[in-house]
């Protein structure tokens, strides 16, 4: 079974977010990027499927800063192939990304595409559904516990109130992975370095995304800081404040 896992980088929130001069997007020049946490789970689930039922895992990412590091790390973790999509915007919205990925998946061929259920960098968590729609495949999101059987895949989906349902879907399909069955593995630096010298990242030119319906950002700004809270030390302080406000 061929599993394709698109990997997307999002701003690392360990740094303060900075807005570009245009006032309409983040300043990607200065931001530190990291792999979307949910994509890491999608990759882990793909590797777990491969290890338990066999298959081939291909990690795919749109070319951009540090993309080689992300792809070599995926190879070090156990992915069989890494593909870099060139000529596309790595920070594009989900609609555009889904178009680009649909083109890539079409060329690579896949039985299953696993995406992270959402990403800190998007606004709608719709990459999975959009990709499924463009591929004309079934797509289900917020899933876990994926098990392939024959040409089908069973999986779990969580509902409000802690309800869990088991589903079955015909392959090929796109799944939005909520959480892998195990903590995403760590790729030892020794292994990543070894992979860098032995493995190759393949390149694939992005197909034209065409006209994609997308929302456009009018304005982006940091939240306005409030006046702040005053820490009260005793009940007497509280009474004092209530008196000042004319409550008592």
Partner 1 sequence: MFERTMARRPKEKRADFVEKDNVIIHGVDISGHWNRMHSPREITSYDLSHLEQVTAVPGAESMGWCYQCAKCIGVCPVDNVGNYGPRKLFRLLQTGYDLINSPELWECTTCANCLRVCPKQVDMIKIMPALRAKAVMDGTAPNELQDMFKNASEYGNPMGESPRKRFRWTKDLPEDVAVKDLSKTPEEVDVLWFVGDYYAFHARGNDAAKAMARVFNRLGVNFGTLGNEEWTDGDSQRLAGEPGLFEMMAEHNIEQFSKQTFGKIVTSGPHALNALKNEYPRLGGQYNVEHYTQFLNHHLADLKKLLKNPFPHKVTFHDPCYLGRHNGEYDAPRALLGAVPGLKLNEMYRCKEQGYCCGGGGGGMWLDGFMADHVNMRLSENRVREAVSTGAEVLAVCCPYEVSRFEDAVKSSGNEGKLRVMDIIEILDQSMGG
* Other CB atoms within 10 A of residue 54 CB: 9
Phi/psi for 96 (5° steps) reads -65, -45
How many residues sit close enough to partner 1 to count as binding (CB under 8 A)?
A: 14
Q: Give alpha helix (H) positions in 20-89.
A: 37-53, 67-77
When asked if residue 190 is in the footprint of partner 1 (CB under 8 A), the reply is: yes
Q: Which is nearer to partner 1, 50 or 191 (CB)?
A: 191
Kindly write out the interface string for residues 210-239 of this chain, putting x where it contacts partner 1 by CB under 8 A and - elsewhere.
------------------------------
Q: Which of 113, 109, 110 is nearest to 97 (CA)?
A: 113
Binding residues among 167-186 for partner 1 as defined by CB under 8 A: 183, 185-186
The least distance separating partner 1 from the CB of residue 191, rounded to whole angstroms, comes to 6
The least distance separating partner 1 from the CB of residue 119, rounded to whole angstroms, comes to 18
- Which residue in this structure is represented by tokens 């409000």? 160
Chain centroid to CA 117: 7
When asked if residue 189 is in the footprint of partner 1 (CB under 8 A), the reply is: yes
Cis peptide before 193 (omega within 30 of 0): no
Q: Which residues contact 248 (CB under 8 A, 6 or more apart)?
A: 239, 242
Q: Which of 243, 6, 244, 42 is nearest to 142 (CA)?
A: 42
Q: What is the dihedral of CA 7, 28, 73, 199, to 10 degrees?
A: 90
Binding residues among 4-43 for partner 1 as defined by CB under 8 A: 12, 14-15, 32, 34
The least distance separating partner 1 from the CB of residue 16, rounded to whole angstroms, comes to 8
Q: Which is nearer to partner 1, 48 or 89 (CB)?
A: 48
Find the binder of partner 1 among 17, 109, 188, 220 (CB under 8 A).
188
Q: Which is nearer to partner 1, 61 or 175 (CB)?
A: 61
Residues engaged in binding partner 1 (CB under 8 A): 12, 14-15, 32, 34, 183, 185-186, 188-193
């Amino acid at each position: 079974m061929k599993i394709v896992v698109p990997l997307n980088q999002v701003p690392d929130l360990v740094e303060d977010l900075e807005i570009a001069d245009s006032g309409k997007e983040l300043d990607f020049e200065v931001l530190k990027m990291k792999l979307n946490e949910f994509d890491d789970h999608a990759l882990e689930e793909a590797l777990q499927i491969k290890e338990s039922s066999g298959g081939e895992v291909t990690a795919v990412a749109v070319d951009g800063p540090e993309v080689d590091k992300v792809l070599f790390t995926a190879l070090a973790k156990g992915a069989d192939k890494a593909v870099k999509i060139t000529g596309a915007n790595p920070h594009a919205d989900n609609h555009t990304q889904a178009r680009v990925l649909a083109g890539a998946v079409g060329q690579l061929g896949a039985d299953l595409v696993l995406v992270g259920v959402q990403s800190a960098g998007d606004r709608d968590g719709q990459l999975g559904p959009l990709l499924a729609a463009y591929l004309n495949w079934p797509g289900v999101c917020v899933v876990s516990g994926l098990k392939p059987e024959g040409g089908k895949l069973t999986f779990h989906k969580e509902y409000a109130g802690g309800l869990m349902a088991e589903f079955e879907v015909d392959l090929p399909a796109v799944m939005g992975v909520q959480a892998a069955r195990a903590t995403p593995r760590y790729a030892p630096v020794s292994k990543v370095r070894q992979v860098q010298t032995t493995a190759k990242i393949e390149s694939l030119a992005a197909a034209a995304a065409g006209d994609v319906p997308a929302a456009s950002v009018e304005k982006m700004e940091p939240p306005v800081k409030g006046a702040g809270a005053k820490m009260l030390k005793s009940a007497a302080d509280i009474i004092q404040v209530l008196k000042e406000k004319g409550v008592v």
